Structure 1
C-alpha cells in the first residue's frame, strides 16, 4: 500500500530521534497527558452513569412515574385502558393525594395512594393477593404505612390515625375545615428510600377526595425508563390530559446529579485540553528545527498544502496514540475498578459502573478533534517557510 508522501514524512519525523530532545519530551508528555485525560474521563463518566442509574432504579421505583387524569371529570373504572405509548410498561387506576396524618402523639405529612391489587405498587409486592384483601378491605378504611412513618407517629398495627386532606374542605359552623376521617393501621412496610407513602383501598380514599366509587382520579403509569417522561405529552395531549410525574418529587435531586456529572466531565476534560496544548509547543519547536528540511522539500516540489499535512499528520499521530492508549487503559480500569478498590480498602466499597458507548465515541471524537485543531497553527507556520530565505547561507 502506497502511503501519501505527507503522511510518510510525518511518520519518519515522529519515529526519528530528533536532536531536539526537549521537543521530543514535550511531544511524549502530550501523548501521556491525553492518555491520562481520556482514561480519567471514561472512569468518571462511567461511575457517574452507574450512580445515576442506581439512584433511578432505587428511588424512582417506589414512586409513581406519572399520573394522567382527564382535565374534566374522572375516569370510569369499568372503561378499558387508553392506548399506551411504547415508553409505558403498564398502567393501573389510581387515587392519590397529599394528606396530613395525626396520631395521638404526633402530626406528619404524607402521600396516600389508593390501590386495588398488590401489583399496583412495587412496595406492596411482599403481600399476597389474599393478604392484601384482608389488610385493605373495601369500605374498611384501613391503611398500610411505612416503618419510618409509624415510628415517627408512634403507631402500631391496630392503632387509629386521622387523615386530613387539605385540598378538599367543607364548611361547618366553626368555619372551613379539611375533609378528614379516622383510619386503622392494618400493616407496616419497610423501604429504605420511601418513608412518606401510605396505602389504602382505592375507593376508600376516593370518598374523601369526593370521587364516586365507580370512578378514579386517573391512571398511574409505569415507564420502562422514567427519564422518558417527556415523551408522554405526544400520546396524551395537554388539552385533554393532565400529567403529574416524578419530577415534582425528585426532579431537583436528579437535576443536581446531572449537573454534578456534567461539571465533573468538564473539569476532567480540561486535562485533555492542557495536554493537547503541548502538541502546539512540540510542533512549533519542530517547525523551527526542521526549517532547512522544509525548504529543501519545497524546492523538490512539495506544495504548501503538503507541507501543512506533514505537521497535521504528525500532531494527529501523537493525539491518536494518546487517545487510543487512554481508551484502552480507561476501559480496563473501569471494568476492574471495584477489584482495585477492594485491594485499597479491604472493608469493601462498591461503585456501580455503567459504560455508555455513545459517551466513549464522543470522548474519542473530542480528543482527536482537539488534536487536529492544535496542529493548524504550527502547520500554517511551516507552510509559510520561504526556501530562498532559509537556504540563503546554505
Structure 2
C-alpha cells in the first residue's frame, strides 16, 4: 500500500529542519498526548479491575458464593443433612454450616464495640483461605472447646487484645427472669488473630466453634445459614437452581453473592464505565492535536506538494504520504503508552509506597477503600480495545489533512512562488 517513495517523503516530513521546528514540536506534543491517554486508560481500567476482583475475593472468602437460609428468617435444624446434600451438587466445592449472631464485645481493659460472631467448624474455617492463609497470630487449630475464639486484627487493635487475652460477649437477647430480662454475658479466650485486608471484616468478625455459638445463643442443634462455595463465581445462577431442585419441599431461601451485593458491585461497574468514557476523552483530545499538527504540516509543505505533483506524483501518493506521517505519530504514541501502562501496572504497589514515603501521607486509607494495597489486574481484551481505539482515532485524525493535501492545486500553489 505504501511505496518506498512515500515512506521516504513521510519520514523526511517528520524530521524537522531549521525553520520547521514549530510543526515538529506540535507533532511531538500530539504523540505525548496519545501516549499519556493510552497509558492512563490502561492503568485506571486495570486498577478498577483489580479493585473489583480483590473485593470480590475477600467478600466471597468470608461469606461464600451462596447462602442458604431458612424461609422467613427461621433457623435450619437439619443443617448437617442439608449441607451434605448441597455438597453433592456439581460445581459446589464446600458447604459450611454457620450460626451467626450480632453481639456487643468488650475487652479486659475497657472499651466496647459491636461485632458479628460466626460459629463454624474448624474444618470449614480452614477451608476459608481468606482467613486461614492470613493469620497474624495464633492458629485455627487452637479453636477447640467452648472457650476459644479467633478475632480480626482491627477488633484486636480497638480493644487492645492479643492471643491469650479475654474478650467478653454480651448478647442483647438475654435470659428471662422474675426481675426481667438479663443480658447473656460470657468471657472467651482469644486463640488467634486474622487479617483479611478489609477493615469492615477485620474490625467486626469473631469466629468460634459452632456448638459453642449454639450454646451462647441458646440455639442447640440449629444453624442460621449454610455458606456454599462454588468453582466458578459467575455460575452461581445455575448452582442456585440446582440447590432448590436438590432440596424440594424444604422451607429455604437461597441468596447468591450477585443478589446480596448487587448495589455495591453495580456502583463499581458504573464507576468503571464512567472512568473509561472520561479518560477516552484524553485520547480524543490528542487526536485533535494530531489533526491540528497535520493541517499545519500540510500548510507548511504546500510548495513541496505542488512540486511533487508537477513531477508526476498522484493525488493518492500525496494522500498516502500524509496518512503515513500522521499514522506514525499515532502508532508510536500508542506503543509508548502501552509500554508505560503495562510497566506502571506491574509496579503499581511499589510506586504507591514510594509516593507515600515521599509525601508522608496515606494515599489509600483502608478504612475508606477497604484495601490495604493497590491492586492492578490487566485484562488483555480491554488493553486490546484501548490500543485499537487509539490507533483508529489517530488514523481518522489524519484523513482530513491528507485529503486536503491531495486536493492541493499545484498551479495555484506555485502561482506566487
Is the TM-score greater than 0.5?
yes
Residues 95 and 218 of structure 1 are in contact (CA less than 8 Å); yes or no, is this contact kept in structure 2? yes
Which residue does the alignment assign to 1:221? 228
Q: Paired residue for 1:376, among 399, 405, 408?
A: 399
Secondary structure of 2:143's aligned partner: helix
Q: Does 1:198 align with 2:223?
A: no
Which residue does the alignment assign to 2:249? none
Q: Describe the shift of the 1:196–1:384 C-alpha distance in structure 2 as closer, same or farther (beyond 3 A).
A: same
Instruction: Indicate the structure with greater helix content.
Output: 2
Whole-angstrom CA distance in 2 between matches of 1:347 and 1:163? 45
Secondary structure of 2:118's aligned partner: strand
Residues 69 and 218 of structure 1 are in contact (CA less than 8 Å); yes or no, is this contact kept in structure 2? yes
Post-superposition CA distance 1:93-150 (Å, at most 9, x none): 2224342337698764332322112442454665354x333246xxxxx755557557
Residues 91 and 219 of structure 1 are in contact (CA less than 8 Å); yes or no, is this contact kept in structure 2? no
Residues 35 and 327 of structure 1 are in contact (CA less than 8 Å); yes or no, is this contact kept in structure 2? yes
Which residue does the alignment assign to 1:139? none
Whole-angstrom CA distance in 2 between matches of 1:36 and 1:322? 8
The size of the alignment, in residue pairs, is: 374
Secondary structure of 1:134's aligned partner: coil
Q: Paired residue for 1:327, among 317, 334, 338?
A: 338
Post-superposition CA distance 1:195-229 (Å, at most 9, x none): 2122343355458889772x6444323467xxx74
Post-superposition CA distance 1:45-64 (Å, at most 9, x none): 5566666666666x537621
Post-superposition CA distance 1:302-332 (Å, at most 9, x none): 6655543332222111111222233334545
Alignment of 1:11-160 (within 5 A): 11-15=11-15, 17=17, 20-42=20-42, 59-60=58-59, 63-69=62-68, 74=76, 76-78=79-81, 79-80=84-85, 81-85=87-91, 90-101=93-104, 108-120=113-125, 121-122=128-129, 123=131, 126-129=138-141, 131-135=142-146, 144-146=150-152, 149=155
Secondary structure of 1:237's aligned partner: helix
Q: Describe the shift of the 1:171–1:69 C-alpha distance in structure 2 as closer, same or farther (beyond 3 A).
A: farther
The CA RMSD over aligned residues, in Å, is 5.0
Q: Paired residue for 1:242, among 250, 254, 278?
A: 254
Length-normalised TM-score, structure 1: 0.69
Unaligned runs of 5+ residues in structure 1 are 137-141
Q: Describe the shift of the 1:50–1:300 C-alpha distance in structure 2 as closer, same or farther (beyond 3 A).
A: same
Unaligned runs of 5+ residues in structure 2 are 245-252, 363-371
Secondary structure of 1:356's aligned partner: coil
Larger deviation, residues 106-115 vs 265-274: 265-274
Residues 33 and 286 of structure 2 are in contact (CA less than 8 Å); yes or no, is this contact kept in structure 1? yes
Whole-angstrom CA distance in 2 between matches of 1:331 and 1:102? 46
Whole-angstrom CA distance in 2 between matches of 1:43 and 1:356? 8
Larger deviation, residues 148-157 vs 183-192: 148-157
Q: Does 1:291 align with 2:302?
A: yes
Q: Paired residue for 1:312, among 288, 309, 323?
A: 323
Q: Describe the shift of the 1:210–1:5 C-alpha distance in structure 2 as closer, same or farther (beyond 3 A).
A: farther
Q: Describe the shift of the 1:67–1:188 C-alpha distance in structure 2 as closer, same or farther (beyond 3 A).
A: farther
Q: 1:388: Cα distance to partner? A: 5.4
Larger deviation, residues 338-347 vs 374-383: 338-347
Whole-angstrom CA distance in 2 between matches of 1:151 and 1:346? 27
Alignment of 1:335-350 (within 5 A): 335=346, 338=350, 345=357
Secondary structure of 1:376's aligned partner: helix
Alignment of 1:152-171 (within 5 A): 161-164=169-172
Q: Describe the shift of the 1:153–1:316 C-alpha distance in structure 2 as closer, same or farther (beyond 3 A).
A: closer
Residues 27 and 329 of structure 2 are in contact (CA less than 8 Å); yes or no, is this contact kept in structure 1? yes
Whole-angstrom CA distance in 2 between matches of 1:268 and 1:117? 48
Whole-angstrom CA distance in 2 between matches of 1:171 and 1:372? 79
Whole-angstrom CA distance in 1 between matches of 2:234 and 2:242? 12
Whole-angstrom CA distance in 1 between matches of 2:183 and 2:261? 24
Length-normalised TM-score, structure 2: 0.66
